[in-house]
Chain A
Amino acid sequence: MTPADNTKDNPLVAKARRIKALVKKEVREMVRDPSSIAMGVVLPVILILLFGYGLSLDVTNVKVAVILEAPSPDVTELVSGFQISPYFDAQFLTSMPRAQELMLNREVDGIVLVRSDAARNLAIEDVQVQVVVNGTDANHARIVQGYAQGAIGQWAARRAAEGHTVNVGPVTVDDRLWFNEANDSHYFLVPGLIVLVMTLIGAFLTAMVMAREWERGTLEAIFVTPVRVDEILLGKIIPYFAQGMVGLVLCLFAAKFLFHVPIRGSVWLLAGTSMLYLLVALSIGLVISSLTKNQFVASQVTLLVTFLPAMMLSGFLFDIRSMPTPVRLLTYALPARYYVALLQTLFLAGDVWGVVLPNAAALAGMAIALLLLTRLVTQKKLA
């Protein structure tokens, strides 16, 4: 029996052959088209470098005014944390009005006020230190506030070790610092970066290449062959899934060897959940391209529906809990939200099943629903 007879007889063999032909075609196009290389490889690398080196949420050299209304050795020791810390650039003053002036002129971002009764209160072990932070940039303010509390807290801890008890006002510990004891924002930026790269390759790139086929009329031509819709979709999903995984590996290497972010959970679990997210992103890209059939519109919609929310609303840059309720409810519809939670847990905390299972289940559900939707909206029909 010749191979030709084989394919004629067995529909599954013919199907596999068609899928293979489509994948082969896609890979060739990918390799030869500089724009897809640019988006699939160059852009992730740029993002890695940009996020790794350019963007950092750590605040250093914050200019603060430290006011000692009545300087004394004890009081000076109390604020010594501000002087030696790399996070602060302290300037010592003796009166509030001058500090207020500096704050108004934005020459300092915070004021630490130690009142004249501090020395006496130190003796009775009840010191009030007032910290005023420029709240224009709320995130920045919160971080500065945290550092200031930390600087004073360190002093309190030292005192406590010496047998004193000191009350320095309410100390709230930021969750972020909990797992991020190095106080290094790469720890949570790099997992976030993976979300962006996967979204970019999964949704954006796929939407563009599929819309291009609608636009150029190549789909119209291959529609009039024995090819089925599911085969066309698999012909897109398989190569871009592979490219997404390459992007993931690239990011993991960057995380481990460039930014020294620990991977405390299982790498396999990380890969598995990433595959789920990639399937979700791929199907979103395919749905959008099938609905718009136009590269420009597809890119705009994909940016709006996947990339921007993944950046702003997934909990990667901004804490979901501090969002207003309607926005917070909206984040439940975002696949990126679950993936960010998974990545942050798997990177920094470990295999915490209580977090991994529900989030992975949400992603798996979304993947199945969206793949079905993709199959539904992609028809061998024009207009």
Chain B
Amino acid sequence: MSTPVLVGRDIHKTFRRGTGETVQALDGVSIQADRGTLTALVGPDGAGKTTLIRLACGLMTADKGELKVLDIEVAADPQQIQSRVGYMPQRFGLYEDLTVQENLNLYADLHGVAGEEREKRYPQLMEMTALGPFKDWLAGRLSGGMQQKLGLACALVLAPELLVLDEPTVGVDPLSRRELWEIILKLVNQQSLSVLLSTSYMDEAERCGHVVVLYNGKVLAQGRPEEVSKLAVGRTFLADPPAGQKARGLQARFLDDPNVTDAVPEGGQVRLVRKDAAVTVAGMVPTQARFEDGFMVLLRQAVGERAVSGSMKVDHPPAGHDGEVVVEVRDLVRMFGKFTAVDHVSFDVRRGEIFGLLGPNGAGKTTTFRMLCGLLTVTGGTLKVAGADLRRAGASARRRIGYVAQKFSLYGQLSVAENLGFFASAYGLRGGRKRQRIEWALQQFELKSLARLPSGQLPGGFKQRLAMATALLHEPETLFLDEPTSGADPLARREFWRRITALAEQGVTVIITTHFMEEAEYCDRVAIMDAGRILAQGTPAEIRQRAKSEPGRHATMEDAFIAIVEESRRREPADKARAGGAA
């Protein structure tokens, strides 16, 4: 067996943040990646994946420890490694004002790939990525999925000894994600290429030859993916919710059970991982353990036995009866210049529902949201939120909605309590009621012990909580959340959905966008968006039915998405659908 392409021993790396505190990005990490193998660094945001990848490419220097790539000490000769590996950073690193061909030429020139070598390489890359017809397109005009393929082509132009990809699939649509994986697996299986990549998608880890599970700068486990899945073997079950109850309600109860490690809704059932293999419980059917199940076991061990919090109570459940339409959207259109960001979108949301807008980056979700909240003018169509068009309605109508923006939009220099105080005043609360509402927020969101901390220094999951708390201070009937879970770790995501479920149960209407397809399982109804249009809408079960069924496997939301997008692209000329992803 040849020497590994990457060996790291006891690597430490610390950063100092702008706010002053230090962050231990890598804390004694030892890893190995073998030649001809696909190695994945798996973990949530902040685990240290990107830091490790940048260290391997010589773009950073470790504080302590040993790191060898291609048998070269990285710290001693970074240039040599940089000349021999192909690297695609998280944002692809493309020049948006250059065409596909010009980007490729630039990398070929920089890598000294010329003449016959280039003549031979280009057709291969074009065939592999199917970018041939778009050679003269500016890179900035391509959809996320195509940009990602171009980034890959640029990294492969030199026929690298090691291909390094930092979160190559984050935020791109499931179809592009699947295509990219087909390319990568082909390279590994047919050309024995060595690949090191990072991902926060658990299903991707399952397809790798070697996984390194990272969390908070530490390696929780490494080995073949099956070794991680094995941790949950015999402990994984599927349970049906009692008649008339929703899966998410049962899931919430499981999360409170001290014998349950993890529970998520899946295909109308609840998938759960029990603490012990023990006996089979009535109503639970044993099922095959996945990588994510094993990962959650590891994560629970790492963070200790803290229960998933998130049960919460609203003071005054909104009045009105269920089934009443609170959001009504008809033929909504939004143009930016010649570009149609939202293309004749229509849907209704009823009181107490969780309504999900699903789609990849650039599908038009955020634009739709901003129009609903009255932050953006409408090019065409009508919309009514709480019986009024928020663009024209006064403050009273606006007071009936809460909005959590995609980016953390609180004042980082103000403390948690000061932020709550400011937003309470902004919503017109004062005196006893203001105090009471702030007290409610601190308690329900478990922020009491952190009330004095500047909110910019809160850990990611807590920032999210604070953002949600401020949006609920004025007791809105309808809550809008834009991509609240992107970048959150799996535990934080479960906690977050727990709160959403609790709110909906008490009559608050929730409208939420996400690019995690499996999160559709929490919703009552979803609309699937791509390139500005709604391709399908209905209950998760209805959507799932549209997936092509494969033998031996339940169709997932993602399968359904891919089937729906493929079907719609077959009907439409490719060019039209693609331009939608450029926003």
Contact = CB atoms under 8 A, between A and B. Distances in A.
Contacts of A17: 109, 112, 114
Nearest to B96: A216
A150 B54 CA distance: 71
Nearest to B15: A383
B59 A4 contact: no
Given A228-B79, A380-B82, A20 B91 contact: no
A32 B141 CA distance: 13
A220 B97 contact: no
A28 interface: yes
B57 interface: yes
B61 A7 contact: no
B287 interface: no
A216 B117 CA distance: 30
Interface in A22-55: 22, 24-25, 28-29, 32-33
Contacts of B105: 21
B114 A217 contact: no
Interface string A221-236: 1111111100000000
Contacts of A5: 115
B110 A28 contact: no
B116 A4 contact: yes
Contact of B82 (A20, A21, A226): A226
A218 B95 CA distance: 7
A32 B107 CA distance: 20
A227 B83 CA distance: 8
A7 B112 contact: yes
A31 to B, nearest CB: 9
Nearest to A4: B115
Contacts of A381: 59-61
A20 B89 contact: no
Contacts of A217: 89-93
A321 interface: no
B110 A225 contact: yes
B110 A220 contact: no
A5 B115 CA distance: 9
B109 A221 contact: no
Nearest to B113: A4
Interface residues of A, number: 35
Contacts of B168: none
Interface in A316-350: none
* Most chain B CB within a 10 A radius of its CB, from A20, A24, A25, A380: A25
B117 A222 contact: no
Interface string A207-220: 00000000011111
Interface in A332-383: 380-383
A2 interface: yes
A163 interface: no
A369 to B, nearest CB: 26
A28 B98 CA distance: 7
B103 to A, nearest CB: 9
A123 to B, nearest CB: 79
Contact of A380 (B59, B97, B113, B115): B59
Interface in B22-77: 54, 57-61
B446 to A, nearest CB: 32
A221 B148 CA distance: 13
Contact of B97 (A2, A7, A33): A33
Interface residues of B, number: 44
B256 interface: no
A4 B108 CA distance: 11
A18 B114 contact: no
A187 B286 CA distance: 90
Main secondary structure of the interface of B (DSSP, over half): mixed
B93 A218 contact: yes
B91 A216 contact: yes
B317 interface: no
A14 interface: yes
B115 A2 contact: yes
A375 to B, nearest CB: 15
A326 B116 CA distance: 64
B109 A18 contact: yes
B15 A220 contact: no
B272 to A, nearest CB: 40
Contacts of B98: 25, 28-29
A223 B102 contact: no
Contact of B58 (A24, A25, A380): A380
Nearest to B87: A224
Contacts of B60: 381-383
Contacts of A221: 87-89, 92-94, 151, 154
Nearest to B57: A224
A19 to B, nearest CB: 10
B275 to A, nearest CB: 40
A224 B59 contact: yes
A218 B94 contact: yes
Given A218-B93, A220-B89, A380-B59, A4 B114 contact: yes
Nearest to A25: B106
Nearest to B13: A383
Nearest to B90: A217
Nearest to B102: A28
Contact of A223 (B59, B96, B114, B164): B59
* Most chain A CB within a 10 A radius of its CB, from B78, B105, B114: B114
Contact of B85 (A28, A224, A382): A224
Contacts of A224: 57-59, 82, 85-87, 164
B111 interface: yes
Contacts of A25: 95, 98, 102, 106
A222 B95 CA distance: 10
Nearest to A229: B79
Contacts of A227: 110
Contact of B83 (A32, A222, A225, A383): A225
Contact of A3 (B87, B90, B111, B114): B114
A224 B70 CA distance: 14
Contact of A382 (B59, B94, B111, B138): B59
Contact of B110 (A18, A380, A382): A18
A14 B83 CA distance: 12
A8 B117 CA distance: 12
A7 B114 CA distance: 8
B115 to A, nearest CB: 4
Interface string A283-296: 00000000000000
B115 A3 contact: yes
A3 B91 CA distance: 33
A224 B78 CA distance: 9
A219 B87 CA distance: 12
B311 to A, nearest CB: 40
A225 B97 contact: no
B144 to A, nearest CB: 14
Contacts of B95: 25, 29, 218
Contacts of B92: 217, 221
* Most chain A CB within a 10 A radius of its CB, from B85, B86, B102, B112: B112
B97 to A, nearest CB: 4
Closest 7 CB pairs of A and B: A221-B93, A21-B109, A4-B115, A224-B87, A226-B83, A225-B110, A32-B97
16 contacts: A3-B114, A4-B112, A4-B113, A14-B112, A18-B109, A18-B112, A25-B98, A216-B91, A217-B92, A223-B59, A225-B110, A226-B111, A380-B59, A381-B59, A382-B60, A383-B15
Given A17-B114, A29-B97, A223-B57, 14 more contacts: A17-B109, A17-B112, A21-B106, A25-B98, A25-B106, A217-B89, A217-B90, A217-B92, A225-B83, A226-B112, A380-B58, A382-B54, A382-B60, A383-B15
